[in-house]
Amino acid sequence: MEIVVCDVVIVGSGLAGLRAATAAAAVSENLEICVVTKVAGPRSHSISAEGGMAAVIYPEKTGDSPQLHAYDTVKGGDFLVDQDAALLLAEEAPREVFFLEKIGVPWTKEPDGSIALRKFGGMSRPRTVFAKDKTGFYVMSALYRYAKGIPNIKFYEEHLVSKIVVKHGRFHGVVALDMRRGEVRFFKAPAGVIAAGGGGRMFRITTMGYLNTGEVLGFALREGTPLKDMEFVQWHPTALVPSGILISEAARAEGAYLVNRLGERFMKRYAPEQMELAPRDIVSRAIAMECKAGRGFIWKGELCYVGLDIRHLDPSRVKERLPLLLEVAKTYAGIDPFQELIPVAPAVHYFMGGIHTDLYGRVLDAYGNWVKGLWAAGEAASVSVHGANRLGSNSLSECAVWGRIAGEEAAKYALENRNGAVEEYIRSIAEEEERRIFYVLGRRETGGVPAAHVKSALQNAMMRGAGIFREAGSTAEAISELIKLMSMFRNINVNDTSRIYNMELREVVELDGMLQAAYALLLSAYFRTESRGAHYRLDYPKRDDKHWLRHTLVYKYGDSFIAAYQPVKIERWPPEARQY
């Protein structure tokens, strides 16, 4: 096994990972920063972000303020947001907007040269900066190019992390499979940042790419780190039917309507003031309710959807600000949006929950102690800034802000804890992981099943037990199904015995972590007997602040999963009725 020595190792190369790398490199040019990512080039899922990035950049012009941004975030998250995190996001986001502009992000501008702003769902002021409706593409292109130009950042692309090495409460590095060479490497580092994104591919219907399997969440769980608030999974209201490709909230920010098959702007029934710009959990449930009431369109007799109408908008403005929408609608639905409704339906879009961290991204164990040397940032982390529901365009802000914070803090820690020789017991852990990975290649169990079969069953179980609407019976059935799948996983066979680009082996490694994280998600959803934000229980349809104004923590003790809770940090804004 090759041992790669780094000062800071970063898992993931999306916006949070790249921002962590650039921030760490800026602390000292003498630090060796390793970015370990399972994708090639700037292809992490951040590139798919379309709508924009929330930040209060012109408070005098818009009547906005960081406090108002934080309040909107707290209310949007149905008051499960830790309010110190919301304030930190709002205060630091403008700095990141201007940093990204400095390195080459072409924010869309007004005629006077100022950065243009959109008003996104749940926000009381226009504060979303954007680059047409391809914001993620422009941000990732600029940030990747910038990072590649920094000498002390080294990329290890197409490396699939299979283990986070934590021993005696301290981080020691990660083990990863080099898909290009079929070799296992141990990245030894005193400091690490987990920025591996979410796990939408645990579900059948999602806007997330095929790489978003969420296995690293499961690997963190296995090392004794709790996953926090995993029951809160955001469904984006407008995914293109039938492909599931995201149709950005930017369309509704520019004035697009949602209509049912009767031609009604049905959001007046659910959010009479904000209408289509209500938070995403409310809009997604509204679409589902229209379908339940028989007022939706039906695609090929099986999938219910509604229409997104841009026919009343100025075509020149749409072409200028929503070019990707026009391209996607034509290519993947075969329609002209200026003449026809765009068929849309909700799809899994974002995990509000993730690896348990403190306000500054430090990863915590089940006892609330810092796992020394380890941080998490972006969608993989839960600093509790989104609570029960994320507001649109807050995600890019989160990734940039906590990516920078985690990168800077990890670099400072690494300077004080420079690498020494690899301890024998740490080497043995890495070597055991190498044997475990390659054991799978030679395994031939009687009655063994392919990974694809287990993954498909997992996705179906998650749709039944953790969908837009939930109730105890269906979630309990999904938990039982997952227990069977975990047992079945031990008998998975891999038919491809090669080591180079073995995609079947990759699927097994991913599935290993997916099952763990999915179980934590279902357990969290089963125990939370209330409805809050994206978690809607048909059997408990009301929010219950008396019993459930608290975060869910799920951790492993041996082979058992344990659920625990901690209070929400309420500093300025007590819970109130959430009306839009």
Q: CA-to-CA distance for 431 and 440, rounded, in angstroms?
A: 15
69 catalytically annotated: no
Residue 75: both structure tokens together: 């209310």
Residue 142: both structure tokens together: 């600029």
The DSSP code sequence of 442-488 is H---TT-B-HHHHHHHHHHHHHHHSSSSB-HHHHHHHHHHHHHHHHH
Choosing from 172, 236, 532, 537, which is the catalytic residue? 236
Q: CA-to-CA distance for 57 and 204, rounded, in angstroms?
A: 38
Angle between helices 394-416 and 135-148 (to 10 degrees): 20
CA torsion through residues 508, 374, 212, 22, sign: negative
Q: CA-to-CA distance for 539 and 508, rounded, in angstroms?
A: 36
CB neighbours (10 Å) of residue 113? 6
DSSP letter (8 states) at residue 267: G
Q: CA-to-CA distance for 457 and 481, rounded, in angstroms?
A: 8
Phi-psi sector, 361: left (phi>0), alpha (psi -120 to 50), beta: left
Choosing from 19, 172, 252, 349, which is the catalytic residue? 252
236 catalytically annotated: yes
Q: CA-to-CA distance for 90 and 394, rounded, in angstroms?
A: 9
CB neighbours (10 Å) of residue 125? 17
Catalytic positions: 236, 252
